[in-house]
Structure 1
Amino acid sequence: MSAKDLETLLGNPYDDANPVGYRAILDADEQREMSAEGEKLLDAWCLNAEFVPAAYGGRFTRADRLAGILRTLWRRDAALGSGYGFASFLASVNVWTASTADQRGSVADRLLANQRVAAAFHELDHGNDIAHTGCAASPAGSGWSLSGRKDVVANVRRAETLVVLARTGPDAGRRSHSQFLVARDAVPADRVRDLPRVGTSGMRGLQLGGIEFADCPIPADAVIGDPGQGMEIALRAYQVTRAVLPAMALGSLDTALRTALDFAAERRLYGATVSELPYVRAVIARAHADLLAVEAFSGVVVRGLHLVPESMAAYAAAAKYLTSRMALDAVEDLRSVLGASGYLRQGPYAIFQKVARDAAPATFVHISRTACLITLLPQLPRLARKSWLTGPPAAPELFDLGADLPSLDFDALVAAMARTDGLLGALVEIAELGDGALTARFAMRFRDELRVLRDECIALAPGDLTSGAGTAAFDLADRYTVLLAAASVLAVWRRGGPRYPDDLLPGVLDRLAARLRGPALLTAGEREQAEYALFAAAGLRHGEHQLFDPTAQATPGGGKDTP
């Protein structure tokens, strides 16, 4: 099974008779329901097997393969991708990260039987600050008694199994929380109450709700890992989910860009097609550049789970923060191409308004962008002192997207802060090589930015490394993520061969450099040439019914003229 297999199974999105085509997906969205036909299709394909490690009967060995499959699903419907797919993956990763063989076997059996697992972590009173959760478990007899509520949990009412984070100690430290594997059919029904479903403006079909426990007895062997390890397990598991989410959510930007190209080619304005307007060409080119940057950065980070797990505490949070922001900005820019048509809920371009609405919650699903920056802040001074400008570059294999990988070793992921930064080591190495006039200009600019960032991060006060930090400290973390993305793009292009054309690189780097708010590195003529190349490449891929990313994978119904 592969992403291409799933793409074929989903069929032509423009075929109104397709039960998982855009017409059917939009109808389900209007009813605020998940696509029932989509869920049937994924049941038959057993998408859940992609979340289960091969050792337990599933198909999960490589995070990049899983990301590609989920990206295919998100191109069709982010609500289906998040509700059917990512929600169960988010919960089950905690089990693969630290649990007994019996627990892993039980969750694997349930997932392979097309059941759902939900991650009951968040509470509205505490938001993303799960360290102050109010839901608590206390020893009772030979087991535990669970009390409290969880809010805004995907699939909580439909899930047969829950992974619940609860307080098991009085202090605020990491050792005061535990995770519990709670099977619905193993606890008294009168001790569990489902709370009303929560409506959303984006991903309207996503089943969000809450659950409340009242002195609910759970057995001693329900604890995942050891008591008190709940936060440590979550931090390790988050590295996987934060890395995979950006790579899969890129599918929504692909659909938005494809729809904008359709509109630009078909709509006439001022005596010409919209695609002939210079402004429209520039917007489409820049969105394509952002898609390629996100593809490179997220691809490197997903490979990092296998190759540099010791650095994932920084890389996964950085990727989740920057790529979600870039994708959301690009979709909003593309809305200006469609104008009023970008808001219509009916008609040939109606899928765009759904993609745009779904893109917003995708930026904070699982954990918010601010929480990602808070994760990065305390790591910056250490990396600045110990690694930046002096540490070795990451191994070339990290940047060879699609190349072989060892199976993901969940035990290699650590909750400790990253100590090395091979991505920025690669940036420095590329700047020193000076390959290509334009590429060297950008590489040296990014290296100079790193020097400034290093000095500013070393000077951070202790109070700037917490959630109470000022805006200047958060800005440093933001700039760090841009430099990681720039390093990824430069290194991926250097390794990628013909899949990564040289004429597309300046436009991609120009977009990243603009996020650092320094002087422009391209002249007006160079930028025009760079954007023309990006626009032409996007149009060519769309016309040939291929993905916009360098894989150029064929897509059924990639254009509306496909039968």
Structure 2
Amino acid sequence: MNARGRMEKLEQSLGDPADPGSPLGFAAILAADERAEMFAEGERALDAYGLNAEFVPPEYGGRLTRLDDLAEIMQSVYRRDPCLGLGYGTSSFIAAVNVWTSADDEHRRTVAGLLLGNRRVASAYHELAHGNDMGRTEFEAMPGRGGLVLNGRKEVVTNIQRADALVMFARTDRRQGSRSHSQILVEKEGLAEGGLRYLPRFPSVGMRGVQLGGVEFRDCLIPGDSVLGTAGHGLEVAMRSFQITRTLLPAMMVGILDTGLRTAVGHALSRRLYGGVAADLPEVRSTLVGAFADLLACDCFGLVCARALHLLPRQTSVLAAAAKYAMSGVMSEAMHRLSIVLGAQSYLREGENGIFQKLMRDLLPVGFGHAARAACQMTILPQLPMLARRSWSTADPAPAGLFRQDADLPPVPFAQLSVTAGGQDSLSAGLAGVLEATSAGADRDERRVRDLAGRFLAELRELTETCADLPPGERTFAAGSDAYDLASRYTAVLMAAACLETWRHNRDDPFLGNPAWLIAALGRHAGRLDGRTPELPEDVEKTLYAELLDRHEKGVSFGLSSRRFAGGSR
């Protein structure tokens, strides 16, 4: 079955989440959230579907062929219950990516067997004392007694007790340096009694059903061949693997904004106000259309960066960090604005709008979970000078397949992912291409597109001048706020380029080829860059509002693919 067929199958197996009588619907999800429990019925449904097979490459019996398809499949889970998305699926995916990136065939088959058997694998990296500073990790896996001896703690780990195996980041050499850490695979079965103890769950505002616990090992012996890949290369493997997970997690979480927007639209159409409905108010309409445009921009950027992992694997250290940084900010801002439309209804924990408050809480980790937004800026910042000198004025444009949903993609090239982009950026090169492809004397919408492309191209040229000679002291974590702002501005340029190129390469598509969505998405994006609240042209807002209502009525996704969801009229 192809990916579109699997998306339809998953949607139908999970059913209409707005159905109050459904055992898999929002009412049941909210009840589980009130108990701070994982949604058991949802987990059973995902077991029956075999969701874990989506995380396993086909050579090991799974269905992981395209990362953009995986993002869309997981949007179907996240749009219902982000706890289910993270606690059932994504936590295992994060761990497994490290195995596909670095491990030998035996370790890969072990992890594939666990996942295909509906078991869980957890990624145990975090230590509260060090946060994102992985180079200071204290947890040890030192040689001794014929194997490796584990000592230390890991904290705030998803599924730490429920997982059958752990991918752990550990110090394997007490000497300082970049080769002092490795990744190890710890299978719980067979561990000596008393070798580990679980720490209490950490209470959280969002993701209440997800088990966020800790573990402590004391002189626990594991086999000596538990190291994944080459000993001492753990940090490098993590940096390469993060490129996949930093890209995919925000792309999956677009499903949260989809339901948030769907809830706000339903409320605005039914809420009686001043002799009409709330949706009749211009401010409310503008807010709904703005959130729709933001969702489209995020979906576009996430899927383009997912395809880049296939087509431009040596450039994705920058793209992945940019996707995580930009998308998390835009989606959080959009949900906040939608909460204003809902008013007091955005706080209710039950009823037809009760899911909104849970989604708003559960979206928060997209900005800091796994890797904080500041860590994403820090990934980009030291690469800016080389990008400015080597790419921004001279790079060849990205391949057309990066922007088309129907393009063929090669298998995920895990081994080709690089720790840095080496000064290469093909995506932003497309800004000049859009200018060349549009005419100053064309119709009004095309002139608007041209003006927006010119705005972001001018931003890139200004960044080129500023970043080419960025002082060494402004490329480190101790850089000033102006330097960090350069990284933020660059992410805005990359998102704009993704949207512009997607429009340019899909002129044959009835929706994507219509410049209205692009003008709205980039108009809002340019407004943020300029520090102002953007106002969309009246005709553009009218076109997008009609599209929004049509999709809401038909039960169609608000993303680029406008695929059919379970629920809505037919």
Task: Provide TM-score, normalisation by structure 2.
Answer: 0.95
How far does residue 168 in structure 1 lie from its aligned partner after superposition?
A: 1.6
CA distance in 2, matches of 1:31, 1:402: 43
CA distance in 2, matches of 1:20, 1:443: 44
* 1:107-146 mapped onto 2 (5 Å cutoff): 107-146=111-150
Map of 2:523 onto structure 1: 510
Aligned: 1:537 with 2:547: yes
Q: Pick one of 435, 441, 453 that aligns with 1:443.
A: 453
Map of 1:475 onto structure 2: 485
After superposition, give the CA deviation of every residue in 1:463-494 in whole Å (9 maximum; x if it has no partner). 21111111111100000000000000000011
How far does residue 59 in structure 1 lie from its aligned partner after superposition?
A: 1.1
Residue type of the alignment partner of 1:476: L
Matched position secondary structure for 1:331 = helix
Aligned: 1:191 with 2:222: no
Aligned: 1:230 with 2:230: no
Map of 2:372 onto structure 1: 368
Matched position secondary structure for 1:513 = helix
CA distance in 1, matches of 2:286, 2:376: 31
* 1:220-259 mapped onto 2 (5 Å cutoff): 220-259=224-263
How far does residue 143 in structure 1 lie from its aligned partner after superposition?
A: 1.6
CA distance in 2, matches of 1:357, 1:245: 16
Aligned: 1:459 with 2:469: yes
CA distance in 2, matches of 1:330, 1:194: 38
After superposition, give the CA deviation of every residue in 1:232-265 in whole Å (9 maximum; x if it has no partner). 1111111111111121110000000000000000
Matched position secondary structure for 2:29 = helix
Aligned: 1:261 with 2:265: yes
Map of 1:547 onto structure 2: 557
How far does residue 395 in structure 1 lie from its aligned partner after superposition?
A: 1.2
| Contact 1:431/1:447 (8 A) holds in 2 | no
Aligned: 1:165 with 2:169: yes
Matched position secondary structure for 2:68 = helix
How far does residue 519 in structure 1 lie from its aligned partner after superposition?
A: 7.8
Map of 2:510 onto structure 1: 498
Aligned: 1:411 with 2:444: no
CA distance in 1, matches of 2:449, 2:420: 35
| Contact 1:286/1:534 (8 A) holds in 2 | no
Map of 2:332 onto structure 1: 328
How far does residue 459 in structure 1 lie from its aligned partner after superposition?
A: 2.8
| Contact 1:133/1:167 (8 A) holds in 2 | yes
Matched position secondary structure for 2:429 = helix
| Contact 1:300/1:401 (8 A) holds in 2 | no
After superposition, give the CA deviation of every residue in 1:410-434 in whole Å (9 maximum; x if it has no partner). 1111223343111111112212333
Map of 1:94 onto structure 2: 98
RMSD (CA atoms): 1.4
CA distance in 2, matches of 1:453, 1:378: 14
Map of 1:154 onto structure 2: 158
| Contact 1:401/1:492 (8 A) holds in 2 | no
CA distance in 1, matches of 2:434, 2:380: 24
CA distance in 1, matches of 2:19, 2:300: 32
Return 403-412 or 261-270, whichever deviates more: 403-412
Map of 1:312 onto structure 2: 316
Give structure 1 regions of 4+ aligned residues with deviation exceeding 4 angstroms: none
Map of 1:424 onto structure 2: 428
How far does residue 403 in structure 1 lie from its aligned partner after superposition?
A: 2.2
Matched position secondary structure for 2:219 = strand
After superposition, give the CA deviation of every residue in 1:66-95 in whole Å (9 maximum; x if it has no partner). 111111100111010011010000001100
Q: Percent identity?
A: 47
CA distance in 1, matches of 2:449, 2:29: 42
| Contact 2:77/2:85 (8 A) holds in 1 | yes
CA distance in 2, matches of 1:213, 1:390: 52
Map of 2:22 onto structure 1: 18
Return 410-419 or 239-248, whichever deviates more: 410-419
| Contact 1:118/1:161 (8 A) holds in 2 | yes
Aligned residues: 557
CA distance in 2, matches of 1:319, 1:401: 18
Aligned: 1:295 with 2:307: no
Residue type of the alignment partner of 2:113: D
Q: 1:186 to 1:417 in 2, by over 3 A?
A: farther
How far does residue 16 in structure 1 lie from its aligned partner after superposition?
A: 2.0
Residue type of the alignment partner of 2:493: L
| Contact 1:132/1:172 (8 A) holds in 2 | no
Aligned: 1:378 with 2:373: no
CA distance in 2, matches of 1:283, 1:203: 26
Matched position secondary structure for 1:381 = helix
Q: 1:201 to 1:518 in 2, by over 3 A?
A: closer
After superposition, give the CA deviation of every residue in 1:489-548 in whole Å (9 maximum; x if it has no partner). 00001112323122222111101111211689x8x6x62322222222111110111111
Q: 1:499 to 1:357 in 2, by over 3 A?
A: same
CA distance in 1, matches of 2:292, 2:406: 20
Residue type of the alignment partner of 1:507: A
Matched position secondary structure for 1:198 = coil
| Unaligned stretches of 5+ residues in structure 2 | 440-445
Matched position secondary structure for 1:422 = coil
| Contact 1:314/1:418 (8 A) holds in 2 | no
CA distance in 1, matches of 2:147, 2:475: 39
| Unaligned stretches of 5+ residues in structure 1 | none
Q: 1:557 to 1:86 in 2, by over 3 A?
A: same
CA distance in 1, matches of 2:396, 2:146: 52
| Contact 1:289/1:508 (8 A) holds in 2 | yes
Residue type of the alignment partner of 1:517: D
Residue type of the alignment partner of 2:548: A
CA distance in 1, matches of 2:274, 2:422: 55
Q: 1:135 to 1:257 in 2, by over 3 A?
A: same
